[in-house]
Amino acid sequence: MRLRLIPLLFVALGLPGVSLAQTQAFDGQVSRDGVTLYYQDASGALAAPLRKRIIDTFYFAYLRERADFRPTAPNEVRIVIDPAYNGVAYVGDKDKASTITISPGWLLKHPDDIDLVTHEAMHIVQGYPSYGDKRVPGWLVEGIADYARDRYGMDNGAAGWALPLKVGKGQTVESGYRVTGAFLKWAEGEHPGLVLALDKALRDGRYVPALWQKQTGKTLPVLWTQYAKPRLDAPPPAPARRGKR
């Protein structure tokens, strides 16, 4: 492990309730097991303990995701804490394809949702040529990333995050994220190696719906029905009517 820290200090003047730890910018570099992480928080939005959790979670997840799915995935990754970003987190494209941008506002409100890093790190491993088209359907991309969050996450339980055990009304295999992730977890259990095959096909631009049948012997609609039917959120039974006395 190689650690190089370059703290930059910003002094808060006239800001009640703002501590020194909250106003310390950070620009650092960490290397572990052949992967270098550059961490940038120019505004000092996140204090050192949360920064450490982000870095530890990244390495806990990314090293295993990379080994299992794409050993040639980038060995240099950047995490940027951006207070101007109002979402949760995202991985950019093209020149930012190995950069995870995180909203500090989200983490300050949800400090235990640290495994959002696991989801985004998987997007870096995926490295698909496009997003949201026939070759690379967005629902499948996000489903694989949430499948990975469940499989490689460091502490999903603390955030109350889990793949659903039921299928809600109106949900389909193309709902994406946790809904698709839960389906993929089940499908992988039934057909080991399926998720890896899907991931490779998406990266190589070879994904077609027929791949499901090739890998499992069943079409995607048949697989979804097999998975969803026993998990549908059925309404509770109506109370028995009482006879007149």
pLDDT tens digit sequence for 151-163: 999 999 999 999 9
Q: Is residue 15 part of a domain?
A: yes
Do 138 and 72 share a structural domain? no
Whole-prediction pTM = 0.86
pLDDT at 2 over 50: no
CATH number of the domain bearing residue 7: 1.10.390.10
Residues 46 and 62 occupy one common structural domain: yes
What range does the domain containing 185 cover?
130-233
Last residue of a domain, one of 127, 159, 194: 127
Same domain, 111 and 26: yes
Q: What is the mean predicted confidence (pLDDT) over 136-150?
A: 98
pLDDT band for position 24 (cuts 50, 70, 90)? confident
pLDDT at 168 over 90: yes
> Taking 70 as the threshold, does the pLDDT of residue 192 lie above it?
yes
Mean of the per-residue pLDDT values of the chain:
89
142 and 92: one domain? Answer: no
Give the confidence band of 171 by pLDDT, cuts at 50, 70, 90: very high
Show which of 93, 127, 161 is a domain's final residue: 127
Nearest-Å Rg of the Cα atoms of the chain is: 21
Residue 59 shares a structural domain with residue 140? no
Residue 84 burial (C-beta neighbours within 10 Å; 0-12, 13-18, 19+): exposed
In a domain, 241, yes or no: no
CA dihedral 214, 218, 224, 228 (to 10 degrees): -140
Q: Looking at the DSSP assignment, which residues form a beta bridge with residue 6?
A: 27
Query: Could you tell me if 110 and 171 lie in one domain?
Result: no
* 155 and 81 housed in the same domain: no
- Same domain as 119, residue 2: yes
Does one domain contain both 143 and 32? no
> Is residue 38 in some structural domain?
yes
Residue 162 included in any domain: yes
Distances (CA, A) of 68 to 41, 125, 162, 167: 30, 10, 21, 28
Does 242 fall in a domain? Answer: no
Same domain for 219 and 148?
yes
Which of 23-27, 149-153, 208-212 has the least mean pLDDT? 23-27
What gap in Å lies between CA 233 and CA 165, rounded to an integer?
A: 10
**206 and 156 both lie in a single domain:** yes
Query: Among 107, 127, 147, which residue terminates a domain?
Result: 127
Q: pLDDT tens for residues 26-75?
A: 889 999 999 999 999 999 999 999 999 999 999 999 999 999 999 999 99
99 located within any domain: yes
Q: What total of structural domains would you count in the chain?
A: 2
Give residue-wise pLDDT tens across range 63-111.
999 999 999 999 999 999 999 999 999 999 888 899 999 999 999 999 9
Number of neighbouring beta carbons within 10 Å of residue 213: 13
